[in-house]
Amino acid sequence: MTDILVLKGISKRFIDENTVCQALSDITCTIRRREIVCLMGPSGCGKSTILRILSGLDTADSGVVHGCNGEKTGNIHTAMVFQEHGLFPWLSVADNIAYGLTMKIRSRSREQIKRKVSDLLSLVHMEDFASSLPHQLSGGMKQRVAVARALAVEPEVLLMDEPFSSLDPFTRRELQDEVLRIREKLDTTFFIVTHNPEEAVYLSDRVIILTRRPAKVLKEIEIPQSYPRNMAEPELIALFQEITRLVSTGST
Ligand SMILES: Nc1ncnc2c1ncn2[C@@H]1O[C@H](COP(=O)(O)OP(=O)(O)O)[C@@H](O)[C@H]1O
Ligand SMILES: [Mg+2]
């Protein structure tokens, strides 16, 4: 697998009314094309900050982010899905998905946009809800639309910040299976922040675990088991226990 995103020596601190908060300290890691990587670590250690830097919403104090072709942060084509879906409440499901398209790809005709929205709606199984408003949808459905909207701009890496943590376990599993299906279909690369070790073991090819603040990479764990995964398998249970231990103790 070739690299798609390389972070080298990323550091970041925040200064608030004379208080200095060192969030990230020398974060180095690589995401490979078509990988699903979960990022874990204690609350407040800097996971969201890393995603914000990768998406261009924030900048690092030092270090570099390289895209697959050697370009810098702003040129890496990413999209973000947040824990709260972030849909525009006044726009229909279809218009929420089309919004990113009309903003990003101005040259597309109305017909092209319509076709693309319809493809995305069926990709996330929401074709029957094109004209619904967000408040008419369940939490899981809103998150499906948020995923479709993010995929509309054809990101090379889809960044997700605790995307399923407000969903019930059954809906969460459905959405995790959607991620696996979308990767098969579109070859999307996923970089997902989660605080749920079970989710990391079920979904990811690799888990990157951070220490407490200032965050460094504590350990990377490969999960070689094929999909779909049976979480009752002893190897997966052992990985779940190991990841839980690493995140909660912050030491190897
Ligand atoms: N804009 C900001 N100004 C000041 N401090 C911030 C800002 N953003 C994040 N922080 C601080 O940086 C640390 C890491 O935050 P964050 O990346 O949101 O953690 P996580 O997502 O791992 O819970 C926290 O201590 C947080 O309070
Ligand atoms: Mg966060």
Q: Please tell me the predicted confidence (pLDDT) of residue 244.
A: 97
pLDDT classification of 75: cutoffs 50, 70, 90: low
> Is any atom of ligand 1 closer than 6 Å to the C-beta of 211?
no
Torsion, Cα 177 182 183 184, to 10 degrees, reads 90
Q: Where are the chain's structural domains?
A: 86-154
Q: Please tell me the predicted confidence (pLDDT) of residue 106.
A: 58
Residue 76 · residue 5 · CB < 8 Å: yes
Mean pLDDT, rounded, of the chain: 93
pLDDT classification of 74: cutoffs 50, 70, 90: very low
How much distance in Å is there from the Cα of 38 to the middle of ligand 2? 13
Q: Please tell me the predicted confidence (pLDDT) of residue 2.
A: 87
What residues does the ion ligand 2 have nearby, CB within 5 Å?
48
Within 8 A by CB and 6+ apart from 106, the residues are none
Cα 247 from Cα 240, distance rounded (Å): 11
Q: Please tell me the predicted confidence (pLDDT) of residue 67.
A: 83
Residue owning the nearest CA to atom 3 of ligand 1: 14
pLDDT classification of 101: cutoffs 50, 70, 90: confident
- Comparing 93 with 107, the larger pLDDT belongs to 93
* Alpha helix segments (H runs only) across the chain: 47-55, 93-104, 110-123, 139-151, 169-186, 197-203, 234-249
Q: What mean pLDDT is predicted for residues 1-29?
A: 93
Q: Please tell me the predicted confidence (pLDDT) of residue 71.
A: 52
pLDDT classification of 18: cutoffs 50, 70, 90: confident
Q: What mean pLDDT is predicted for residues 10-21?
A: 93
Q: What mean pLDDT is predicted for residues 4-18?
A: 93
Residue 43 · residue 195 · CB < 8 Å: yes
> Is any atom of ligand 1 closer than 6 Å to the C-beta of 189?
no
pLDDT in tens, 207-224: 999 999 999 999 999 999
Query: Which atom from ligand 1 is nearest to the alpha carbon of 45?
Result: 22
- Comparing 230 with 68, the larger pLDDT belongs to 230
Q: Please tell me the predicted confidence (pLDDT) of residue 16.
A: 87
Report pTM.
0.95
Q: Please tell me the predicted confidence (pLDDT) of residue 105.
A: 56
pLDDT in tens, 150-198: 999 899 999 999 999 999 999 999 999 999 999 999 999 999 999 999 9
Residue 66 reports pLDDT greater than 90: no
Beta pairing, strands 19-32 & 206-210: unpaired
pLDDT in tens, 105-140: 556 688 889 999 999 999 999 999 999 999 999 999
Residue 73 reports pLDDT greater than 70: no
Find, among 75, 80, 72, 76, the residue nearest to 8 by Cα: 72
Query: Which atom from ligand 1 is nearest to the alpha carbon of 15?
Result: 4
How much distance in Å is there from the Cα of 189 to the middle of ligand 1? 25
Q: Please tell me the predicted confidence (pLDDT) of residue 148.
A: 96
